[in-house]
Structure 1
Amino acid sequence: MKAAARALALLAERDQTVAVAESLTGGLVAAELTSVPGASASFRGSVTAYATALKRDLLGVDADLLARRGAVDAAVALQMAAGVRTRLGAGWGLATTGVAGPEAQDGQPVGTVFVAVCGPVGGPLEAGKVAALRLNGDRAEIRRESVRSVLELLVGELSGNARAQDTEQNGGN
């Protein structure tokens, strides 16, 4: 089963939702999720914030952070994920930001990508988790791998949460 289908199945089992903030992937994460039949049960929507100003204005990324570090940054990815979760009213937020090429950006080389996930408010992953990637390949390959990576990050967190809940329900054994 593809990562998008696994993520949506895990979200549906929990009656939870997800929203996506995308930069370098330009809507590919949303397209991957919506390619799964029944995605509307858990997928709230997405924001493609390609321009740095939109990361600030639509997703609430801190302007000083963007000015200091640029858009290709782990903290920016976390703020994008938290912002889209809040703005679109989802339990989970995902984000992608990075450099797909052909040129470096914000002092970061091509293939530098940050993907992030933020969980439900009040939950153990509310503050989020980010993965820093150094990807090889052409622009299309970097974007595809970024999509796969952010969806796998979500699946990992949902699977980990499921194991923790099962352990609690089974008396910690």
Structure 2
Amino acid sequence: MTRVRVQEADFDISTEVAALRADNPKVGAVACFVGTVRDLNEGNTVQAMELEHYPGMTEKALEAIAGEARDRWPGSDVLIVHRVGKLLPLDQIVLVATTAVHRAEAFESCAFVMDYLKTQAPFWKKEKTEHGEKWVDARESDDAARARWDPESKKGAEA
């Protein structure tokens, strides 16, 4: 099962994970990642962050990422809850939870979803700092993290 939500409201991790586990009695492992708003970015104090997205398009992108994870780790379930709107330091931004029969698959699928979400999901972040507001650029480290899942990039690394 795949569950994807984009919302302004906060989420409760325990409630979300309990619902995900209840759908599959064969679950032996659950891996979770919760992303939060940092209070410091590139040396600047973050006062707030605004997350924007394209409704409809964003959910389809997240569903495609979750579907790819389920194809790579058969029997797994995926939950993605991503917030939008104005967020403050320490606020929760995203929850990715995956289930699997064994822990290795749960950890791997959770990392895969998060790595793809950071590079493939249409979200835009604007940070407000003591120096004003600015859009946050994509990071090369996120692209590198996603590339590790690409069979083509593994061929180059083996050569």
Larger Rg, first or second structure (1 or 2): 2
Which structure dedicates a bigger proportion of its chain to helix?
1
Higher relative contact order (CA 8 A, sep 6+): 2
Which structure dedicates a bigger proportion of its chain to strand?
2
TM-score, structure 2 normalization: 0.32
TM-score, structure 1 normalization: 0.31
